Homo-oligomer: A and B are copies of this chain.
Amino acid sequence: MKIGLITIGAELLNGTRTDTNAAWIGQKVIIAGGNIVWHMTVNDEKAPIEAALNEVPGDVDVVLCTGGLGPTHDDITATVLYKYFGAKEEFDQAYWELLTKKFVSRGRVIPKSNRNQAIRPDIGEVIPNTVGSARGLHFSNESYDCFATPGVPAEMKSMMTDTILPWIKSKSDAEIFVKVMRTTGIMESVLYEKIEHELKSYPDVNVAFLPRFTGVDLRITASEKKSLEQLIKQISPAIQKYHFGGEGVELEDAVGALLTAQNKTIATAESCTGGLIGDRLTNVSGSSSYFKGGIVAYSNAVKEEAVGVSKATLESVGAVSEETALEMARGVREKLNADIGISTTGIAGPTGGTEEKPVGLVFVGLSFEGGEKAYRFTFTPFRKTNKLMTSQAALNITRLYLLNGL
């Protein structure tokens, strides 16, 4: 099913807001069997919205509009759509009673000015809003069905998920199956080589490689569920080591799940990451059951006094070294009484590099009862990228240790 998208709002054109709705909608309609083939962004004014509705290509079946649709019926998108589709305003008594009840249940009297929230068109449909108070609109003419939602992402997503995507799915002839496999610790080209043969044996399955600094996501789509499942089954052994989760899963979620399942605790000693690993671990609800805490050992004094790195090590091989990483991981594990200690030390940059220890050089230390290991990386010239890649490497080292031991 071919879908057109009209995103409405001056803030999108003048750049005060990035249009993240469009990308979200683009992804979601695919699963429902649709494809965005045409997308216009216009100001929230009468003439450009009308012009956009007139310019929708002839082969488009559905037009989605977001933005310019507020809690009152006189927002510009509603006004234009009522006129464009020849609808008249009606008072929706049932909805008015619902609104009134809501106010009463909060111990308030509903103001008369709220009556316009109960206005609805005499033709078409209103789309319920479980998040806010503005209802969406659904009109149709001989060319296409048109759905309008507010631009507020939470309200748009709720209307799409509850009403519009199911409608598209029910009308589209093609059902599309999508699965995301998130990987880390492997470059896009190497990942491709590992599964190239399998990909070529399933020409009806589309696999998009989405590289980030922290790994590569595979977005796999197919119209046959069986093909999708078989391809995943075939590529899984080769990428098992790198694959940590599906859509919406972060590496810290995967590490947290393993720690919980194995009833183990972790502590961090962070130098170059400055607290980022702790921040990521504590993004997970429930992390207090396995994350004891950490020491951000940014200065050498803190490395020595709070974590217990020896002066001799710092003086002989320096703070950015395998030895310091190991002593940090061991030190924090013992001091905070955790099962696993993980540490980072490196030159985050952009300054501070030397010929021997350039910007981007990082050591990650892992310590546990009965074993330890240090890992050396050379990342980028960029400070925040280095911090992010180091935190990812440390979390992945923890994940692999929990899965397979050292």
Contact = CB atoms under 8 A, between A and B. Distances in A.
A11 B272 CA distance: 34
B16 A19 contact: no
A382 to B, nearest CB: 10
A12 interface: yes
- Number of this chain's copies in the assembly equals 2
A345 interface: no
A298 B285 contact: no
Interface stretch (A69-77, A166-174, A287-295): A287-295
A22 interface: yes
A18 interface: yes
Nearest to A217: B16
Contacts of A20: 18
A36 B219 CA distance: 33
Contacts of A278: 270, 274-276, 278, 296, 298
Interface stretch (A41-49, A94-102, A103-111, A127-135): A41-49
B291 A294 contact: no
A306 B336 contact: yes
Kindly name the residue among A19, A24, A28, A273 whose own CB sees the greatest number of chain B CB atoms within 10 A.
A19
A48 B42 contact: no
The dominant DSSP class at the A interface is mixed
Contacts of A219: 16
Interface string A39-67: 11111000010010001010000000000
Interface of A: 12-20, 22-28, 30, 35-43, 48, 51, 55, 57, 208, 210, 219, 268, 270, 272-279, 281-283, 285-288, 291-299, 301-302, 305-306, 335-337, 348-352, 383-384, 387
* Pairs of residues from A and B, 10 with the lowest C-beta to C-beta distance, nearest first: A15-B26, A274-B282, A275-B278, A275-B275, A15-B27, A293-B302, A39-B41, A294-B296, A293-B298, A15-B23
20 contacts: A13-B37, A15-B25, A15-B26, A15-B28, A16-B208, A17-B23, A18-B20, A18-B22, A19-B19, A39-B40, A268-B275, A274-B282, A275-B275, A275-B282, A278-B278, A282-B298, A282-B348, A291-B298, A293-B297, A301-B337
